[in-house]
Structure 1
């Protein structure tokens, strides 16, 4: 159970770091770029991959290349969502992305749709509508975009429409990444080696993007990137450890992870950062928990 707690805490800690980055004068894009080499080194040290397997003919390079592009892209989107919509809504949008791989399982991989799963998908869509709906005025968390002038590395909001866009990017992006990870797990290459390759490619892509912008690196941003990489890898590592500790109860792991992140994220966002939680978003959080419960494997 400690592995599950550590995974949930690491996931929420990533959101907290992204939330405080701007006020601490941290360049989010630089921190994200540094995060991937750190995660790759931790992957080498703790998961002990076999990189030579990547030379096998069956290596799904198209999956790894897409992950190399999407992983840093979705991190940037998550940073924008946390800044403009808050931790509560951003974490919920991320966790509700499970709807996308589930739909892919029905439409692409031939899985049978049970009544409970169909009901869960309907409730998840309702939760998403509640979480993304912006009635009348911007969220308290979103008002941060009207504060100090944007800095290099910031993710612009563009007002209410921009906030909605980054939240949809978080939802769709994490769903797409989940599908790609499932494709990666189906290949002949061991998961640790594939994960290492994805981290390396993501780091190269982000580094090339920053080089094209002639970024001026800051020690503070690099240090934040080291912490971000440790938290990012910790989330994955302890999640895998939890599955190893409960091999006959994946439902426990999956439910605890998703509901735990939404619950802890809501507490941190509301109590620490004083994020507004209007009735529609509170209803969305409740519906999200119900949807995750319905979507659990039986």
Structure 2
């Protein structure tokens, strides 16, 4: 369980760093680019992928994933900045419903009544968690970010699942290729802002990006180690990770950043945990 705990801490720390970026005037785009450089270097150290497998031509899905990751990272940062850690983390974790729906409509998987109940409760939880009486157009528009986080992470999860089934290339090598593509995409976007918008590259953004990359990679590394350590109980890892991030993220957002959470939002958080638990139990029953 120590790996699950470390993965949860790394995941929430990424959200905290993105939240603090605005306070200390960190350029998120630059930090995101250096974040992927750190991920590439750490992949070499921990995964030790074969050079030959990395040099192969990436598939269409790999390229799409490599583009989506840095773009969604920027959306995630905007969501944390505009509506806070609590609601952004929940939107990210509830994105698991998209791959579940994909399993039903794309892969033809049969759903139990418990899983259907979990989906219904989950969608209600999304509405209640993000609900807030809005006083202006800008605030209403800001709620587009968690919606994009919800959809984006769900699509990325589906792509990751499809890539994991490809046996020609080890999954760790595929992940390394994805990081390389993401780094290039982020660099292209950054070069555009430097040339067109005359933005300056600052050393502080490099330092923050490396720190961000370490925690981002740590989240992936410890999550994989948790699955290996509890190979016979994948549902345990899945449930503990998602519920842990929601609980810890909510506590950090409310206590550390004084984020406003209404009674309706608290009901939504509770329902989000219930939804993840229902879906996890339905998965465990299906495995048996």
- Find out whether 1:282 has 2:266 as its counterpart: yes
- Find out whether 1:89 has 2:87 as its counterpart: yes
Give the match's secondary structure for 2:143.
helix
Determine the structure 2 residue equivalent to 1:230. Answer: 214
After TM superposition, give the deviation of residue 122 of structure 1 in Å: 0.5
After TM superposition, give the deviation of residue 104 of structure 1 in Å: 0.2
After TM superposition, give the deviation of residue 279 of structure 1 in Å: 1.4
When structure 1 is superposed on structure 2, of 208-217 and 129-138 the one drifting more is 129-138
After TM superposition, give the deviation of residue 61 of structure 1 in Å: 1.0
TM-score, normalising length: structure 1? 0.90
Structure 2: stretches of 5+ with no match in the other structure: none
- Find out whether 1:197 has 2:177 as its counterpart: yes
- Find out whether 1:67 has 2:65 as its counterpart: yes
After TM superposition, give the deviation of residue 53 of structure 1 in Å: 2.3
Determine the structure 1 residue equivalent to 2:24. Answer: 24
Determine the structure 2 residue equivalent to 1:180. Answer: 159
Determine the structure 1 residue equivalent to 2:254. Answer: 270
Determine the structure 2 residue equivalent to 1:103. Answer: 101
Decide which of 209, 214, 220 is 2:204's aligned counterpart: 220
Q: Distance in 2 between matches of 1:254 and 1:9?
A: 15
CA distance change for structure 1 residues 187 and 60 in 2, over 3 Å: closer, same or farther? farther
- Find out whether 1:39 has 2:39 as its counterpart: yes
Contact 1:39–1:233 (8 Å) recurs in 2:
yes
Q: Distance in 2 between matches of 1:120 and 1:21?
A: 35
Aligned length: 277
Give the match's secondary structure for 2:22.
coil
Q: Distance in 2 between matches of 1:221 and 1:55?
A: 30
After TM superposition, give the deviation of residue 216 of structure 1 in Å: 1.4
Determine the structure 2 residue equivalent to 1:113. Answer: 111
Decide which of 200, 208, 229 is 2:188's aligned counterpart: 208
Which whole-Å deviations, capped at 9, do the CAs of 1:16-59 have from their partners, x for residues lacking one?
00000011111011000100011011011101122422556xx7
After TM superposition, give the deviation of residue 137 of structure 1 in Å: 4.0
After TM superposition, give the deviation of residue 161 of structure 1 in Å: 2.6
Determine the structure 1 residue equivalent to 2:128. Answer: 130
Cα-Cα RMSD: 1.3
Q: Distance in 2 between matches of 1:253 and 1:227?
A: 25
Determine the structure 2 residue equivalent to 1:141. Answer: none
Contact 1:60–1:187 (8 Å) recurs in 2:
no
Contact 2:58–2:177 (8 Å) recurs in 1:
no
TM-score, normalising length: structure 2? 0.93
After TM superposition, give the deviation of residue 162 of structure 1 in Å: 2.2
Q: Distance in 1 between matches of 2:74 and 2:173?
A: 25
Decide which of 239, 253, 270 is 2:237's aligned counterpart: 253
Give the match's secondary structure for 1:212.
helix
CA distance change for structure 1 residues 200 and 101 in 2, over 3 Å: closer, same or farther? same
